[in-house]
Amino acid sequence: MPEEIQLSPKELARYSRHIAIPEFGKAAQLKLKKAKVLVVGAGGLGSPVLMYLAAAGVGHIGIIDFDLVDDSNLQRQVLYNVNDIGQSKAETAKKKLLALNPYIQVTVYKEALTTENALDLIRQYDVVADGTDNFPTRYLVNDACVIEGKVNVYASIFRFEGQVAVFNYLQEGGDRGPNYRDLFPQAPAPGMVPSCAEGGVLGVLPGIIGSMQANEVIKVITGVGEPLSGRLFLFDAAYFSTRVLKIKKNPETKITELVNYEDFCGVPQKDEQVKEISVIALKAMMDQQTDFQLIDVRESFEYDLVNLGGTLIPLAEVAAAIDQIEKDKPVIVHCRSGHRSATAIKTLQSIFPFKNLLNLEGGILAYAKEIDRNMLTY
């Protein structure tokens, strides 16, 4: 028979403030030690979630994140510092969590969560904490949790606002509570909700919301308190206002298999009408002093952070600035990642039959990765 999990004398001392709570005690602490939690994303939300789950004594923490630490992360991702820039977030997080609490186990997955690996990964854990920042992955996490019968502790952040909820919670009687699709049956249209990189986020907000998310994970595991099942907690840091909305199950919601979440969320695929140019080809044109026009369709604050020397025409202004676009030589349009610039090109082509517009594939991020590794990214 497997050896019964117990708390060592050192662990009893470490967790004494938990154990001293009458409603919590040693029994709840043992549940934490036996628990396995998968944290999807080790960024703004993942940082406080991971730190507090490790400190609380969750016995086995899984981290899935394929990203590297970037200088722009440090405004809010408090798990990292300047010495970690360029390093794997998942591996760096593991080292710091084990330094915080050597009595836990941490497993890292330096990869993206996909339809190919989601079910196998999530199946190995008791609870999933969703700290992702994009809709395709949120729906993927939700659907995989529903299929595998796992609780999904959800949180999201944007500018000054945050949300927290507990989805697919196992209720008394064996029924499951509402899931993410009961709240949001359909993803918002592409471009309706900017990413944090484009729209911004208050640095302390992930700490506030991530701590709440970690609290819900602990409640789910221990059975202490009442989890946010069937409720969505809303927080506005600018006005320090809160609301709690009720979520009802939709009997029409059926989740039996994973789907193509890029298609489901309407993520635009490459448009054949939008011709592309690589950053390598752009650099060659620059070096050869080829006659071309470079247009930057980001916002002015982004341009001030880092730019390639192009003419700044923010996306919202391109239609009105059509007279500034050259008609008789190559025009390369770029943004941070290539999405806004593709939209700009389609807008311009809908007004005038341009044949000379090229979208810079991958935008500033690709240029920094492939051409100038010292370039500031955000």
Residue 163 maps to which CATH number? Answer: 3.40.50.720
DSSP assignment, residue 60?
E
The reply to whether 145 belongs to the active site is no
For the cut 60, the answer to whether the pLDDT of residue 102 exceeds it is yes
Mean pLDDT of 337-352: 90
For the cut 70, the answer to whether the pLDDT of residue 205 exceeds it is yes
191 falls within a domain: yes
pLDDT of residue 186: 84
Residue 174 binned pLDDT confidence (cut-offs 50, 70, 90):
confident
For the cut 60, the answer to whether the pLDDT of residue 2 exceeds it is no
13 falls within a domain: no
pLDDT of residue 375: 86
The reply to whether 265 belongs to the active site is no
pLDDT of residue 181: 95
Task: Tell me the residue range of the domain where 312 lies.
Answer: 276-370
Q: What percent of the chain has pLDDT over 70?
A: 95
pTM: 0.78
pLDDT of residue 339: 85
**Active-site residue identified among 54, 90, 196, 365:** 196
pLDDT of residue 378: 76
Tens of pLDDT, residues 221-260: 999 999 999 999 999 999 999 999 999 999 888 899 998 8
Residues 104 and 171 in one domain: yes
The tokens for 217 are 């994970």
Residues 43 and 139 in one domain: yes
378 falls within a domain: no
Residues 217 and 81 in one domain: yes
For the cut 80, the answer to whether the pLDDT of residue 266 exceeds it is no
**Active-site residue identified among 61, 93, 144, 335:** 335
Domain edge (last residue) among 264, 289, 312: 264
53 falls within a domain: yes
24 falls within a domain: no
314 falls within a domain: yes
Helices (H), the chain: 9-14, 16-19, 25-34, 46-56, 89-100, 118-123, 135-148, 180-183, 196-199, 205-222, 261-264, 279-287, 300-305, 339-351, 363-370
* Counted domains in the chain: 2
pLDDT of residue 187: 80
The tokens for 299 are 């916002």
10 falls within a domain: no
Cα–Cα distance for residue pair 359/331, rounded to 1 Å: 9
204 falls within a domain: yes
Cα–Cα distance for residue pair 352/212, rounded to 1 Å: 51
